[in-house]
Amino acid sequence: MAEMSRLQRHMMEPQFDPQQYVQTLSQQSDADRDLQEQRLHVQKLVDDTALNLKRNVYKNYHQFIETAKEISYLESEMYQLSHILTEQKSVMESITQHLRSTDKEEAAKEKPTAFPKETEEVKQRTLTTLLEKVEGCGDILETPGRYLVYNGDLVEYDPESMSQVQRVHAFLMNDCLLVASWLPNRRGAVRYRYNSLYQLGDLAVVNVKDNGPMKDMFKVMRYPDCCIFQAESSKIKKEWLEILDETKRNKASSDKLKKEQERPLSPKTPDTPLDPFAEEPELSPAVEEDSIELSEPWIQDLPEDLDVCIAQRDFEGAVDLLDKFEDFVKEKPVTQTVTQLRSRVGDRVKQLTDVLVFELSPDRNLRGGPRATRRAVSQLIRLEQATKACQLFLKNRECAVRTALRQLRMEGSTGLCVRTLCHVFFCCLLQTTREFQRNFAAHPGCYSALVVWQRLALQLFADAFSQQVFDSKECLSSIAECVALACSHCEKLSNFGLDLTFTLQSLLLKDIKGAVQASKDVIIEATKHRNSVRARNTLSVSLSVC
């Protein structure tokens, strides 16, 4: 141990020179035994260093996962806090505006005017004129009462890399925000193309502080999306922020007023005497269901938990959460809360499916055999995507067969090469069939795809077999031995319910006929030559006798 510690300290010195160290060690060593001992010390130090490195990587990996989970929680809480603060600010400003406008409303009652109606009509006509220049937004004008509030050019930036994405033109209306991208090639009066539409009720606007060249920016958030826009100047940015806040307040006030007007009157009027013995009205089933959904903490954290499971590659845990969610909402009525939650969970399902599809892609490492795909295939089947799982599994195994045949080293005699080829291919074929039967036993409709795949795989084997046996101009006896060996492997597969003998014989029939015909031609030519030689010898003997 002392020798190991001294060697470790010596190698950790900044001025350590490996070549000088080896040269000094070879000069000072008396025999080969000393060099072997030093070699063992160095090897043990290498193993210890590799073990420590693995431990540090494993520790840092777990810390990274925990940090990512905490960051996800904090991001969700910060978004909720920002949304709450924005709502509180809008409520306070609406109250202030209401108090200030009381006197103006009383003065307006004394002298009515048609100016507001004319202004609204002008704004709506202006919106119609502007949207004629936007491609793909014909249904925007179908909403009654929608008019233009503000519009202008902006530049969109990527929230992560802060790189410029595209130049856009934003149209702020009394209930939504339309973002249209500039067309590089204009077609007549059309200048823009429809990009996205944000409802003001689901929108949060956040100011972005100036940082170096990144100036005059503001952020538009709608969970889970986030967009960053840059105005032409600080003055225009201020106008955008103020008008967006004011329009959101007006939208909230109008929605509240509509709800109050649409609220049904109570069956008890002031003229009706109250019954002290009457029971309190029960909540409607929809209200009760909404309260039950909101009271479940795991339901609220479900999208974030799914993100964590996907990041940690815990596919089984993610599918278990999805099954639990489906069992929970199966008996619930279709409410707005359930619809929104299903939409958020649906995005995670798509993300989980993409990850599982990538796990089965041929670009992944093909080591481990068919068992390496079992985890991803089983989870795709649990997600009710058995057809996709079947296609990806067979495509993965096709690539594995091609790679295995390509990596074979055909050296030595033809019989030895064919024996190796048959062993590798038929073992791979048998393993794939067993794994397929294990995964898709409950889906008999997928077995037709397995039959097609076996035919394709056998075609690959037949091509490699013909190249090794028939193209090498072997004798007919050697070819017969190789074909018999391949057929014997097919007969062994019949014990597992897989009979491919006829298919293999049909694939090799053309080459076998060619080999037999070539052997026949050789025998005929040899017989002709032998007969001609014998005839010449007989003729020469006869002439000598005469």
What's residue 173's pLDDT?
84
Mind listing the pLDDT tens digit for each residue in 508-532?
A: 888 888 888 888 888 898 888 888 8
Q: What's the total number of domains in the chain?
A: 2
Same domain, 60 and 147: no
Same domain, 117 and 247: yes
Question: Which among 489, 476, 496 is positioned nearest to 424, based on CA atoms?
Answer: 489
Out of 213, 234, 258, pick the residue that ends a domain: 258
pLDDT(533) > 80: yes
Q: Which pair of tokens denotes residue 526?
A: 């040899």
Same domain, 192 and 70: no
What's residue 270's pLDDT?
43
Same domain, 185 and 229: yes
What's residue 543's pLDDT?
75
Is position 58 within any domain?
Answer: yes
Same domain, 14 and 146: no
pLDDT(112) > 60: no
Exposure of 143 in the CB half-sphere (CA atoms within 13 A): 12
Is position 436 within any domain?
Answer: no
Q: Residue 499 is inside which H or E element, if any?
A: none
Mind listing the pLDDT tens digit for each residue in 220-258?
A: 877 667 888 889 888 888 888 888 888 888 888 887 787
Least confident window among 231-240, 378-387, 490-499: 490-499
Same domain, 52 and 180: no
Same domain, 118 and 230: yes
Same domain, 41 and 154: no
Out of 230, 258, 286, pick the residue that ends a domain: 258
Least confident window among 37-41, 112-116, 449-453: 112-116
Mind listing the pLDDT tens digit for each residue in 58-96?
A: 778 777 777 877 787 787 678 778 778 877 887 787 787
Is position 364 within any domain?
Answer: no
Helices (H), 132-277: 234-262
For residue 6, the enclosing domain spans 2-78
d(CA 443, CA 388): 12
pLDDT(411) > 50: yes
Same domain, 155 and 246: yes
Question: Which among 175, 150, 130, 179 is positioned nearest to 241, based on CA atoms?
Answer: 150
Q: Residue range 257-265: average pLDDT?
A: 66
Please, what is the Cα angle at 182 between 180 and 184, to 5 degrees?
150
Question: Which among 342, 377, 335 is positioned nearest to 356, based on CA atoms?
Answer: 377
Under the banding of pLDDT at 50, 70 and 90, the label for residue 283 is: very low
Out of 233, 258, 283, pick the residue that ends a domain: 258
Is position 454 within any domain?
Answer: no
Is position 230 within any domain?
Answer: yes
Q: Residue 118 is inside which H or E element, if any?
A: helix 115-131
What's residue 271's pLDDT?
43
Q: Residue range 2-27: average pLDDT?
A: 75
Left if phi > 0, otherwise alpha if psi is -120 to 50, otherwise beta: which for 148? Answer: beta
Q: What are phi and psi of 365, to 5 degrees?
A: -65, 130
Alpha-carbon dihedral angle through residues 59, 61, 67, 68, given to the nearest 10 degrees: -170
Most confident segment among 158-162, 223-227, 233-237, 262-266: 233-237
Is position 407 within any domain?
Answer: no
Q: Is 218 helix (H, G, I), strand (E, B) or coil?
A: strand
Mind listing the pLDDT tens digit for each residue in 339-359?
A: 777 788 888 888 888 888 888
Residues 6+ positions from 514 with CB-CB distance below 8 Å: 470
Same domain, 125 and 61: no
Cα–Cα distance list, 386 to 314, 378, 439, 442 (Å)? 20, 9, 10, 10
Q: Which pair of tokens denotes residue 411?
A: 């050296």
Same domain, 150 and 17: no
Residues 6+ positions from 247 with CB-CB distance below 8 Å: 149, 150, 172, 174, 200
Q: What is the 3-state secondary structure (H, E, C) of 291-329?
A: HHHHHCHHHHCHHHHHHHHHHCCCHHHHHHHHHHHHHHH
| C-beta of residue 171 within 8 angstroms of C-beta of residue 177 | yes
Is position 197 within any domain?
Answer: yes
Q: Which pair of tokens denotes residue 543?
A: 């002439």
| Amino acid identity at 240 | W
Radius of gyration of the chain (CA): 40
Q: Is the peptide bond before 224 cis (omega within 30 degrees of 0)?
A: yes
Place of tokens 């944000």: 198
- Interior/surface letters 393-410, b for 16+ CB within 10 angstroms, e for the rest: bbebbbebbeebbeeeee
Q: Which pair of tokens denotes residue 335?
A: 């409410």
CATH of the domain at 118: 2.30.29.30
Residues 6+ positions from 231 with CB-CB distance below 8 Å: 152, 154, 216, 217, 218, 237, 240
What's residue 3's pLDDT?
66
Q: Is 13 helix (H, G, I), strand (E, B) or coil?
A: coil
Tell me the DSSP string of 434-484: HHHHHHSTT-GGGHHHHHHHHHHHHHHHHHHHHHHHTTTT--HHHHHHHHH
Q: What are phi and psi of 443, to 5 degrees?
A: -130, 80
What's residue 121's pLDDT?
59
Q: Is 289 helix (H, G, I), strand (E, B) or coil?
A: helix
Residues 6+ positions from 370 with CB-CB distance below 8 Å: 393, 397, 431, 432, 434, 435, 436
Same domain, 74 and 127: no
Q: With a threshold of 0.75, does the pTM exceed it? A: no
* Maximum C-alpha span of the chain: 156
| C-beta of residue 190 within 8 angstroms of C-beta of residue 134 | yes
Is position 503 within any domain?
Answer: no
